[in-house]
Structure 1
Amino acid sequence: MINLDAINQTLAEQRADFFAAMKEGTPEEQEKAFDSFLGGIQDTFVTQAEQLMNEVGDKYKDEEALVARGLMKPLTAKERKYFNAAVEKQTLDNLDEAFPETSVEDIFSRLTTEHPLISLVDAKTTGALFKYMYTDPTTQTAFWGNVPDNIKQLLLKTIKIVNFEHSKLSGFVPVVKGFFKLGPAWLANYVFTVMYEIMAASIELAIVKGTGKQQPIGMTKKLSGAVDGVYPDKDRIPLADLEPVSLAGVRANLAEDKMDNGQVAALVHPVTYWTKLFPHLAFKTDEGKWVLTNLPTGEQIVKTYACDEEELIVGVPKNYLLAISGQTELKKYEETLAIEDMDLFIAKFFGTGLAKHQNAFYVYDLSSMPGATAPTKDEEADVKRPDPTGLLNETDTDTTEEP
């Protein structure tokens, strides 16, 4: 039996490599990391499928039995109709049925409750709409008594509209022929799993580092001065220690701009957390026990690979608006990046995001802070991906010749 924990650990490492490549890698490195990440998702799905088949036997295609045991998401009527059509035609392309909006809404709902970062921002789903309206959280929007005309104009100025008609997130969904043969419920579960992982990684990276050009504007970007649609990086504040006097300045700025209107968080790369933050937050009590304390200014620490190493982002996550439309396209991908032995589909949906105020988030530079040094790692050789069910290598075995 293949160790699922080991596969999940490998997937976590592939996810980290994918983040690193998307931030600063060459196109070749990005393609390699993306292929590896998708392969990791497949490994996880195939291994879980094998274990479930061994557990339930012939009932592995019984959707009601699997749903009753909490092993699979129940499908709506539209979802079942869509994936029945996909199984019948052995493709996700050119189907008579549109990809169900409820699927994207369910995936996004999971992200907003389960994901460490996405669950903390102000995430909205807007159905098939392409515009979203919100108010500036720093301005007063209610008044006692009669409201003069000049105040009415001020109120109108606090209402902001974001248009995400031209911000399209694309995620690839590779499907091996064997997945279609498992039936509509399994195919749906696989597609949802891939879309969840790709949406999670892409949205998380956009929230933190989005350039604003056909994508969200990230927390680390200024909200003005865009050149060709790309917004400039915010200035980094040098931080050499975690003493209260060093951290309090940013909290004072947040308070002055009324941006401390919720739980303030500190976003940090997982490696930087261990090398720079952890050594300064762990201490030994008089009784000889090690205790982990919080930052002196009380920020919730959120680890994300979307941050650069040596970087710390401080602000209230709810002051970042993320809006996603449920309208989705899913078509076969015929261009480059074709992955061997499988069909590649591309899922496209619309969305955007930006900070609600120009000073909602501050970026620290931790490069001068003393910390731990990670030991040199041994390089590992490439290991062939496991295929316990034979699904990854399954091909059409019908050799009947035409007369």
Structure 2
Amino acid sequence: MKSKDLILQELKTNLVEAFKSTDENAIAQAFTPFAEAIQANVMEEVKAYQASNDSSILTKRGVHQLTASEDKFYQTMVSNMVSSDPRQAFSTLPLAYPETIIDNVISDIKEAHPLLNAINFTNTTILTKMIVNAQGAQLAVWGAINSAITAEMSGAIGQIDLALCKLSAFMPISKDMLVLSASWIDAYVRGVLAESIALALEVAIVDGTGKDMPIGMNRSVADNVVVTGGVYPKKTAMVVANLNPLTFGAIAGKLASAPNGKQRPVSKILMLVNPTDYFTRVFPNTTIRALDGTYSYNVLPFPTEIIQSTAVVVGTAIFGLADKYFMGIGAGTLGGKVEYSDDFKWLDDQRVYLTKMYGNGKALDDNAFILADISTMTASELTVSVSNVVKTKEQA
């Protein structure tokens, strides 16, 4: 019999594949068993807590004291759910998530998903547009106020439309759950939103087309890029056959070239790779066995954060500057409202609700990320041998 964790992981994998397909029906179908699994886990933990009164269960699930606005939100939501006509009840109430709930969701996401913790990830609930430094260069220039200064600053300020992309999350809620306290319902809602949003965002951040979704790191955002039907083209892949200092120097050199001929320091590189490639290509090339028999892994010639992501296509990797990818998501002025859904009438003893989050994301400049072809990278075992040490000393 499969464990709960294994089942949930399989459901997550199915949801990721659905997000990759961009098929709304497939996404909706994958959402339901995923949310039901989270709901079942919450209900089990509720029963365990009621039986033992063990506060560690609350900590494990992330149940916390709600603010007044959060408590009012959930109390209102539950009263509408138990209504004889929930569709009508929800249609007449502007029920939107308080900003603090989105803050908590983003916090949960960052803790569990390294990629989303590494990038510039922001709650944009009260915003519709975000002004960004598009060129990665300074936005102040010494000198007289004249046309030359205007030209220097031109193109340095960009704008990201946060209302352009919509992310829908389905939440089946059973009648049993409606008798729980607002704090437990909050734990369930945050669990569904955090995991589903994280999985959807990771796919979009890596490989988003830009059409009704964020623009992925592997896409070109150059000023002269040709966008066809709203879809941004993929970058031309740089062949990376090894991870030696010369190769990393070439990668860092590309990343150090900011737009408009500017240069920028590079202190750390982000490397995204598919789990399969990590263990068959990257891991063998970054793991060193010392003289005492111990191993050190993820050893690279330059400070690098390696993150595994199933959103990355096998045979490829992405190198870049994590803070140069902006992602904003929140309820926004257009969304965050919980709605009754008729999409799953066949579900027994529970109703399904839908919430729409708004946001957008893109690399702040085209040179901030490199798409790499690592298909020719072969595994090699690295060891620190006595002969190597002696040779180094002799050369010195």
Same fold (TM over 0.5): yes
Give the Å deviation of 1:96.
3.2
**1:34 deviation in Å?**
3.6
Unmatched segments (≥5 aa) in structure 1:
373-403
Residue type at the aligned position of 1:130: T
The aligned amino acid for 2:253 is A
Q: SS at 2:159's partner residue?
A: strand
Identify the residue that residue 307 of structure 1 maps to in structure 2: 312
* Residues 18/96 of structure 1: CA separation in 2 closer, same or farther (3 Å cut): closer
Distance 1:364 1:38, change over 3 A: same
1:91-110 equivalences in 2 (<5 Å): 93-94=90-91, 96=93, 98-99=95-96, 100-110=98-108
Q: Which amino acid aligns with 2:185?
A: L
Instruction: Deviation per CA, 1:283-302: give whole Å up to 9, x if none.
Output: 32222223324222332101
Cα gap change, 1:166/1:293 in structure 2, threshold over 3 Å: closer, same or farther? closer
Contact 1:210 1:217 in 2 (8 A): yes
Matching residue's letter, 1:101: E
**Aligned residue number for residue 269 of structure 1:** 274
Structure 1 pair 222–174 and aligned structure 2 pair: CA distance change class (3 A): same
Q: Which moved more, 1:330-339 or 1:304-313?
A: 330-339
The reply to whether residue 297 of structure 1 matches residue 278 of structure 2 is: no
Q: CA RMSD in A?
A: 3.1
Alignment of 1:80 with 2:88, yes or no, is: no
For 1:205-354, list aligned pairs within 5 A: 205-223=203-221, 224-257=225-258, 258=263, 260-327=265-332, 328-335=336-343, 339=347, 341-354=349-362
Post-superposition CA distance 1:40-72 (Å, at most 9, x none) = 323432332232222218xx9xxxx99899962
CA distance in 2, matches of 1:349, 1:316: 26
State the partner residue of 2:389: none
- The aligned runs of 1:1-400 (5 Å cut-off) are 6-24=3-21, 33-56=30-53, 72-90=63-81, 93-94=90-91, 96=93, 98-99=95-96, 100-112=98-110, 114-223=112-221, 224-257=225-258, 258=263, 260-327=265-332, 328-335=336-343, 339=347, 341-371=349-379
Distance in 1, Cα, partners of 2:8 & 2:57: 25
In the comparison of the two structures, how many residue pairs are matched?
A: 363
Deviates more, 1:327-336 or 1:185-194: 327-336
In structure 2, relative to structure 1, the CA distance for the partners of 1:171 and 1:70 (3 Å cut) is: closer
TM-score of the superposed pair, with normalisation by structure 1: 0.80
Following superposition, the deviation at residue 208 of structure 1 comes to: 1.0
Q: C-alpha deviations, 1:64-110, integer Å up to 9, x for none?
A: x9989996222121221121123233357346352223212321243
Identity %: 26
- Paired residue secondary structure (2:359): strand
Residue type at the aligned position of 1:20: E
The structure whose residues are more often helix, as a share, is 2
| SS class of match (1:252) | helix
- Residue 22 of structure 1 aligns with an amino acid whose one-letter code is F
Aligned partners of 2:281 and 2:378 also within 8 Å: yes
Q: Retained in 2: the 8 A contact 1:7–1:43?
A: no
Distance in 2 separating the partners of 1:188 and 1:31:
22
Kindly indicate whether the alpha-carbon contact (under 8 Å) linking 1:260 and 1:315 is maintained by their aligned counterparts in 2: no
Task: Structure 2 unaligned segments of length 5 or more: list them.
Answer: 381-396
Please list the CA deviations of residues 263-303 of structure 1 after superposition, one character each: whole Å capped at 9, or x if unmatched.
21101122221121112222322222233242223321011
Q: Is the 8 A contact 2:15 2:31 kept in 1?
A: yes
